[in-house]
Amino acid sequence: FLFTDGIHAIQKMAKNKGVDKLFVSVISLTTFTIFVNHVDCLIYKNYVMDDVSTKPSPPVDVGPLVLYNDRQEACAFMEIEGKFDLSFETKTGTQSQVVVDIPSQVSVTGLCEPHYVAKYMIVGWSSFTLSFYFGVDDEDDYWFLRTVTVTYNMSDPVFSGKAAGARMELDTPLSFQPILKARLDRAFYCLNFGEIPLQNKYREQVGMMIIRNIKVQPFAGEGAFAEMQTCLRSRHPYDEMVPIAIGSTLAILTLLVIAGYAIFRYFKVKKVGYDTME
């Protein structure tokens, strides 16, 4: 309503000044279009930036991995696809890198709390162990992934005998925590989760964990994955260039309309002048 009243006010002022009504209408319409586009972009951005969704999500390829307690009762579920990009020092003193994929065949260990909530979950293969440490915020009613730790032997075959040193342990920096979270009654799902930096004991970043897909639930629920809460990347990605492109197009269109109207007015006035002279 405020915007409509503004347009009426502009048209009234233009009429008092003797400005052509068609010109004012065109400018008002263009301005209204830009305004609507701006509001629409804001609404879309706010929708995308909302980190809570309860829509069912498609399964990922690996898993599910299940953690059992001492009574063989499930207390956590996970599906994960990802890899590690690790930097290491060779025996000759140079720096090198290796990419390690998380395989589909892994072992699962961990610790379950008495009320069927996992305190941590460890995925292992070869000399690698990938540990997920969970926490619960009872006040705000959500669980979260506190940190991730990866340990491995430098003598592992993936290093092709080039690596110097013995056993390495990397974990996520404090600034990157919590890594993910969801409501206590929801599982977490993310497609193309992204990169998680990994640091050594000297707080130097020497690795990166790239998670393509992850689905995790550190509680028993009904014996399977509960309703999903998805991350931003699993929904419509917000492209900052979209509103810029639309806004630029509308601005150019506005200039063309004004230029066209100016040319029209010029020839119209010129014709009236000639008619008066005759």
Whether 7 and 32 have beta carbons less than 8 Å apart is answered as yes
Residue 126's pLDDT band (cuts 50, 70, 90): very high
Residue 110's pLDDT band (cuts 50, 70, 90): very high
Q: 124 and 10 in one domain?
A: no
Cα–Cα distance for residue pair 23/8, rounded to 1 Å: 14
Mean pLDDT of 187-209: 93
Residue 35 lies in a domain: yes
Residue 71 lies in a domain: yes
**Sign of the C-alpha dihedral, residues 216, 219, 225, 231?**
negative
Q: How far is CA 92 from the centre of its chain?
A: 40
Q: What's the predicted TM-score (pTM) here?
A: 0.61
Write down the pLDDT at residue 3. Answer: 47
Q: 225 and 261 in one domain?
A: no
User: Measured between alpha carbons, how far is residue 220 from residues 6, 120, 187 in Å?
Assistant: 58, 14, 10
* Beta-bridge mates of residue 271: none
Residue 252's pLDDT band (cuts 50, 70, 90): confident
Give the residue, 160 or 235, on which the prediction is more confident.
Answer: 160
Write down the pLDDT at residue 245. Answer: 57
DSSP letter at 246? H
Average pLDDT of the chain? 75
For helices 241-277 and 21-49, the axis angle rounded to 10 degrees is 180
Residue 57 lies in a domain: no
Write down the pLDDT at residue 31. Answer: 56
Give the total number of structural domains in the chain: 2
3-state secondary structure of 207: strand
Cα–Cα distance for residue pair 52/66, rounded to 1 Å: 25
* Beta-bridge mates of residue 108: 123
Q: 180 and 73 in one domain?
A: yes
Cα–Cα distance for residue pair 242/254, rounded to 1 Å: 18
Is the pLDDT at 103 greater than 80? The verdict is yes
Write down the pLDDT at residue 247. Answer: 63
Peptide bond connecting 64 to the previous residue in cis, omega within 30 degrees of 0: yes
Dihedral (Cα; 47, 53, 54, 56), 10-degree rounding: 100
Domain span at 131? 65-234
* Percentage of the chain lying above the pLDDT 70 cut: 62
Give the residue, 10 or 75, on which the prediction is more confident.
Answer: 75
Give the residue, 11 or 79, on which the prediction is more confident.
Answer: 79
Residue 232's pLDDT band (cuts 50, 70, 90): confident
Rounded to a whole number of angstroms, the distance between the first and last alpha carbons of the chain is 49
Write down the pLDDT at residue 163. Answer: 84
Write down the pLDDT at residue 99. Answer: 96
Q: Where are the alpha helices (DSSP H) in the chain?
A: 2-17, 21-49, 241-277
Q: 273 and 145 in one domain?
A: no
Write down the pLDDT at residue 195. Answer: 93
Strands (E), 18-166: 65-68, 74-89, 95-101, 107-112, 118-125, 128-137, 142-153
Q: 150 and 110 in one domain?
A: yes
Tens of pLDDT, residue by residue over 14-64, are 555 454 555 555 555 555 555 545 544 444 344 333 343 333 333 334 458
Q: 180 and 82 in one domain?
A: yes
Q: Report the b/e string of 235-251 with b at 16+ CB within 10 A.
A: beeeeeeebeebeeebe
**Residue 226 tokens, joined:** 């509960």
3-state secondary structure of 78: strand
Residue 179's pLDDT band (cuts 50, 70, 90): confident
* Beta-bridge mates of residue 209: 84, 196
Residue 55 lies in a domain: no
Cα–Cα distance for residue pair 58/189, rounded to 1 Å: 9
